[in-house]
Amino acid sequence: MIRLRNIEKIYRTDTVETLALNSISLDIAKGEFLSIMGPSGCGKSTLLNIMGLLDTPSNGQVQIDDQATTALSDKQLAHFRNRKIGFIFQSYHLINDLKVLDNVELPMLYRNSSAGERKQLATEALEKVGLSNRIKHFPKQLSGGQKQRVAIARAIVGKPEIILADEPTGNLDSAMGNEIMDILLELNKTDGTTIVMVTHDENMARKTHRLVRLFDGTQVQ
Ligand code: ADP
Ligand code: ADP
């Protein structure tokens, strides 16, 4: 599903050059749930952003679903990303002045679906994360765990084959974190969604199929 070959990422400014990723090669199978761990600054977010086509590597190849992505234009990349990949972030990234339902509908605005279809898909996604009773609330009226559930609903509304989650439980206490983890495990098991999750929590990582550890941009496990 995701194939990385000799991925290198160098961040350059006028004075500093940082090798953030050093020749990472990784194959992630369809239906796999992979976690990525490692100390702060080791390249986890950079790797996830490259997998998610939010950022491009300095060298190396990214293949998603047998499509070599280096050949795609920015517009094609955006289209591909919108269809295939759902993102979840530690700090939710919800739009505060949109109601829950409207937040979840957002990714569908880029598609040619009618308002009725958008509403139905968003409602279904919110049912899946157990938030049907909060669709008219605003994000600030929700707990952290509920906000993250809205973010998951937004990530899955377009039925992506891949979910990329950057520390999805990082801001949550362990009870709420476990709830979020259970939803991700269920999406992986029931829908066969491929999931890659960055985490600092060994307990969360242990529940996934495989763990990759990074240190200073290099894969050490
Ligand atoms: P992690 O997610 O593991 O904390 P990151 O992928 O965010 O690590 O960062 C990896 C390295 O790349 C760090 O040394 C960081 O300082 C550097 N880095 C990340 N983003 C940028 C950027 N936009 N410009 C320059 N350096 C960056
Ligand atoms: P976290 O909540 O995990 O701290 P960040 O704010 O660090 O997340 O975002 C992780 C990365 O994803 C950043 O490089 C950011 O630029 C990028 N990003 C965040 N939100 C979006 C978005 N909606 N679309 C595209 N890129 C995004």
Is the CB of 184 within 6 Å of ligand 1?
no
pLDDT for 24: 97
Taking 90 as the threshold, does the pLDDT of residue 206 lie above it? yes
Q: Which two tokens stand for residue 58?
A: 């300095």
CA of 40 to the centre of ligand 1 (A): 9
Distance 165 CA to ligand 1 centre (A): 17
Cα–Cα distance, 205 to 212 (Å, whole number): 10
Percentage of the residues of the chain whose pLDDT score is greater than 70: 100
What is the predicted pLDDT for the residue at 112? Answer: 81
Looking from the CA of residue 167, the nearest atom of ligand 2 is 3
pLDDT at residue 87, rounded to an integer: 96
Q: Is the pLDDT of residue 194 over 90?
A: yes
Tokens 């950057």 label which residue? Answer: 166
Whether 29 has a pLDDT exceeding 90, the answer reads yes
User: In this predicted structure, what is the pLDDT of residue 110?
Assistant: 81
CATH number at residue 200: 3.40.50.300
Average pLDDT over residues 168-186: 95
The DSSP 8-state label assigned to residue 142 in this structure reads: S
Nearest CA to 204 among 37, 8, 5, 43?
A: 37
Total count of domains within the chain: 1
**Which residues span the domain enclosing 13?**
2-219
Interface pTM, i.e. ipTM: 0.69
Distance (Å) from CA 122 to ligand 2 centroid: 22
Does residue 90 line the site of ligand 1, with CB under 6 A?
no
Rg for the chain, CA atoms, rounded: 17
Question: What atom of ligand 1 comes closest to residue 217's alpha carbon?
Answer: 10
| Closest ligand (CA of 41) | 1
Provide the mean pLDDT of the chain: 95
Please work out, in degrees rounded to the nearest 5, the angle formed at the alpha carbon of residue 110 by the alpha carbons of 105 and 116: 45
Q: What are the residue ranges of helices labelled H in 192-217?
A: 202-206
Is 42 close to ligand 1, i.e. is its CB under 6 Å away? yes
Type of residue found at 5:
R
CB 105 less than 6 A from any atom of ligand 2:
no
Ligand nearest to the CA of 46: 1
49 ligand 2 Cβ < 6 A: yes
**Is the model's pLDDT at 195 over the cut of 90?**
yes
Q: Which numbered atom of ligand 1 lies nearest the CA of 166?
A: 2
Q: Which amino acid, residue 1?
A: M
In which band, very low, low, confident or very high, does the pLDDT at 70 lie, cut at 50, 70 and 90? Answer: confident
Residue 80 has pLDDT above 90, yes or no: no
CB 157 within 8 A of CB 122: yes
- What mean pLDDT comes out for the span 66-90? 91
Helix axes 115-128, 144-156, angle to 10 degrees: 130
What is the amino acid identity at position 123? T
Q: What is the model's pTM?
A: 0.88
